[in-house]
Amino acid sequence: MNKTTITSHGKVILIGEHSVVYGKNAFAMPIKALQIKTTIEPLAVGNSQMITKNYHGDFLSAPATYDGLKYIYKTLTSRLSSPPTLKITYEGEIPIERGLGSSAVVALGTTKALNEFLNLNLSKKEIMKIANHAEMINHGKASGLDTATVNSDYLVSFSKATGPTALKSHLGASLLIMDSGQLGNTRQAVELVRKQLETTQDGKKRINQLGSLANDFKKAWLSKDIFKIGDIFNQAQTILASFHLSTSKIDQIIEVANANGALGTKISGGGLGGIVIALCPTKEIAQQIIGKVKSNIVNYWIEEI
């Protein structure tokens, strides 16, 4: 085989971040506008190479931020007695550390591309297991939600007990995704929540409340109750902020969005920076909010949901 190319898309968590790590339900949706293309080609000599926007060099000598990808490469090439030398190129861009699934996208893309190029015939379950383990390396403790969503074309309901389930119904609203420009840190955020669960009296209560909100979200989504979902977003944000996952800049973005027509606004993903999502009744309202909040963000996307 001369070349293999796999394209994978980003995601955004609507409800259930952090609580999903503790067995609760969560819901996330794909963002087709954000994509990364993984291309594998043979190299005649030398060691396998990685080519990204920020790194170009020996694959296994890449910085520690690529340890998940190195795990995938070693795991899959070790299945061959004489693995070929490869050039693996990543094109396109999903902002990193924003909760948009960038690490899951490249993990899944790399696993799928290597599986195809090396003719390994891995099952879908094996592919997801390997990509999820790479996410564990990247984030310390990963639920599997990100990998499931970047592998889906629909809204995904996910829990550790049941795995991913696609919900093909639409809500009939607009989701405004705003990039604060602040780098989030999923590993740090997960650890921050874990410590509070261990050291505070009501940490588990708040995690359970997030889980309950996710259950309420599903009912509201299926009944297309956009006002209920907006309220759920606001309640979830209050709980996430109580774990010290918000920032003053994010608080400002949320305040402006809610004052200008958003039905509900919250952080999405690990927190400590990253993206803010606002549920809007129409695309026009979303665009009005952008006009008010543009000085506090570096980018935005509007998805019809």
Domain borders along the chain are 4-166, 170-304
**End-to-end Cα distance, the chain:** 39
pLDDT at 87: 97
**CA dist., res. 150 & res. 227, Å (int):** 27
Which CATH number does the domain 170-304 belong to among 1.10.3720.10, 3.40.640.10, 3.40.630.40, 3.30.70.890? Answer: 3.30.70.890
pLDDT at 93: 80
pTM above 0.85, yes or no: no
pLDDT at 142: 66
pLDDT at 68: 95
218 contacts: CB under 8 Å, gap ≥ 6: 25, 27, 157, 167
Q: Tell me, what amino acid is at 167?
A: L
* In this structure, CATH architecture of domain 4-166: 2-Layer Sandwich (3.30)
Label residue 248 exposed, middle or buried (CB < 10 Å: 0-12, 13-18, 19+): exposed
User: What phi, psi does 11 have (nearest 5°)?
Assistant: -155, 165
CB 186 within 8 A of CB 270: yes
Q: What is the block-wise mean pLDDT of the chain (305 residues), using blocks of 10 residues? A: 91 93 92 92 94 95 95 97 96 82 93 97 96 87 80 90 89 95 86 92 92 96 97 98 96 98 95 95 98 95 91
